[in-house]
Structure 1
Amino acid sequence: MPRAKRSKQYRKLMEQFSMSFGFRVPYQVIIDADFIAEANKCKMDVIRRLEDTLHGEVKPLITQCSMRHLYGRKSEPGVEAAIEQAKNHFERRRCGHHPDEYPEPLSTLECLQSVVDPKNNGVNKHRYVCAINDENVRAKLRQVAGTPMVFIRRSVMIMEPMATVSVKIRSKEEKSKFRAELKTPTSKRKREDDDSDEEEDAKRAAPRSAEADKSEKKKKKAQGRKEPNPLAVKKKKSKPTGNPDKQHSKEPKAEEAVVAEADQTEAPKRKRIRKHKSKSVSTNDEATTASGNGEAHVVEAED
């Protein structure tokens, strides 16, 4: 596993490739015959080391020409194990160099260049990571923009820094993005400032209406102790001052007084009639007593 400092550099480098050239996991890694033979010679787990170096899942690929190169070196020590690993764990990348058309396999440079840059326009179209141990092949592929390269040296897997061609393209894109960001906010901010200035001038020029003044007064609330919600407070019931029975008893008395006054006004008082007693009144005469209302009644006895 790479050391912490080197691992951090590789992670940043792959982030730059992802941002500038669109690399995504799983990374497609093309491995040549020399690389896989060196890895098996050092007893290195190729897939795990590639994942640690690139900081992401990898998809190992090997071309048909590289497989033919391995079969040609089958007598060398460790190559037979590399052939078995390539056959079982690596995906075959069709380079188009069929044995019928090409009795001898193409060189690693020609084969990989036709796969990485098929149109020969200096662009890594399919975003391949090249794991190559040959220095001449790596020097040629550095001319292809956006091509990360990995190699093995002294049993250590190393990732090359970004090539000059890739750095120029990346810096150019960063400058264009920076200029675009500078242009857009300034013009937008200027337009917003102009609109705000016009609104302020219109507000100052327009006279204040009565409704606007009222709304401003309503907004300014007096600070102090908050009163309770009037809807949540129960209203106090007023207590009666006197006895309700007495009030009811007074009402009919008043009605009686009114009726009595009406009787007095309507019926005048009867005049008293005084009758003189006759001389021939017998002793058995009976006199009636006066009635309760003060009137005297005299009854004459029969002879």
Structure 2
Amino acid sequence: MKITRQKHAKKNMGFYKYNFGFREPFQVLLDGTFCQAALRHKIQIREQLPGYLAGTTQLCTTRCVLKELESLGKELYGAKLIAQRFQVRNCSHFKNPVSGSVCLLSMIEGGNPHHYFIATQDQSLATKVKKKVGVPLLFIIQNTMVLDKPSMKSLTLAQAVQTNQLVPEHQKLNIELLKEEQGLVKTSEPKKRKRKRSSGPNPLSCLKKKKKAQETLQPSAAKKKRNKKRRKRKPEAIVEAAQ
């Protein structure tokens, strides 16, 4: 049975870690009923809970829970001593304390932004916690602590996320951070304008012009050579005629 409970706890913890961003240290809000049940069944919450959740935990309560335990007298004196050892979280009922169940419900309003676990034996409070999204519920049964399976609302939201209908905010941030670490984020840099440089004459066109000039000079040079030859021949012809 212990191995089976550990498997269920590991599976449920994986669900809350992946879908709702729960991370160590896990913050567990306890009320007087849970402390009383732990005292009755001789459960060492501080020693046993981290092993069950497979991670470090921060046990905490509220002033309203402590006030409620004080008002209940000697019957819950032992539970009050246990609760006093935990960290006290600030609630909004400093001037006008309310019951422990009402106070714990107020701590998980707005989608449970602080990722609290609720540990209670109060059935009415447990029923209301199950109607919330992303709030793990702990209780004691058969001398052991048990992490309840996720509520239907939590399962529905997780299914919507998996079908790409919704993306949780914590996952968006993680995706952006991973992209930046891997260098996948492209930063838009202004494109530098190329300066237009004054282009000189095309060398090929210059070569063509030189060729044309050489062609025009060639006939004039040939004519000069012919005239020289003719001039040389004239005296020879006169000498021959005189002889």
Partner of residue 71, structure 1: 70
Instruction: Provide the rounded CA distance (Å) in 2 between the counterparts of 1:126 and 1:169.
Output: 18
Query: Runs ≥4 in structure 1, deviation > 6 angstroms?
Result: none
Aligned counterpart, 1:147: 135
Give the CA deviation at 1:16.
1.0
In 1: Cα distance, 2:68 partner to 2:46 partner: 21
Answer yes or no: is the 8 Å Cα contact 2:26–2:57 preserved in 1: yes
1:115 deviates by: 0.9
- 1:160 aligned residue: 148
- Opposite residue 15 of structure 1, the aligned amino acid is G
CA distance in 1, matches of 2:17, 2:151: 15
Partner of 2:115: 127
Match of 2:87 among 84, 91, 104: 91
2:117 aligned partner, one-letter code? V
SS in structure 1 of the partner of residue 84 of structure 2: helix
Q: Which of 106, 115, 126 is the aligned partner of 2:107? A: 115
Report the TM-score, using the length of structure 1 for normalisation.
0.52
Change (3 A) 1:9 1:154: closer
Match in the other structure for 1:23 = 22
Does residue 77 of structure 2 align to residue 80 of structure 1? yes
Shift of 1:30: 0.3
Q: Distance in 2 between matches of 1:156 and 1:8?
A: 14
Q: Aligned partners of 1:49, 1:135: CA distance in 2, in Å? A: 23
Give yes or no for contact 2:24–2:55 (8 Å, CA) kept in 1.
yes
Task: Tell me, in whole angstroms, the C-alpha distance in 1 between the residues paired with 2:82 and 2:120.
Answer: 17
Give the counterpart letter for 2:8 in structure 1.
Q
Deviation at 1:34, TM superposition (A): 0.7
How many angstroms apart in 1 are the aligned matches of 2:156 and 2:16? 13
Per the alignment, residue 236 of structure 2 pairs with none
Structure label with greater radius of gyration: 1
How far is the alpha carbon of 1:40 from its aligned partner? 1.1
Q: Which has the higher helix share?
A: 2
Which runs of 5 or more residues in structure 1 are unaligned?
Answer: 178-303
1:172 paired with 2:133, answer: no
Aligned amino acid, residue 105 of structure 2: Q
After superposition, the CA RMSD in angstroms is 1.9
Q: Which amino acid aligns with 2:132?
A: V
Q: Does the Cα contact within 8 Å between 1:108 and 1:137 map onto a contact in 2? A: no
For structure 2, the residue ranges without an aligned partner over 5 or more in a row are 166-243
Deviation at residue 81 of structure 1 after TM alignment: 3.1
User: Structure 1 residue 53: deviation in Å?
Assistant: 2.5
> TM-score by structure 2 length?
0.64
Counterpart of 2:28 in 1: which secondary structure? Answer: strand
Q: Distance in 2 between matches of 1:165 and 1:83?
A: 33
* In structure 2, distance between residues paired with 1:73 and 1:156: 25
Counterparts of 1:239-258 in structure 2, within 5 Å, are none
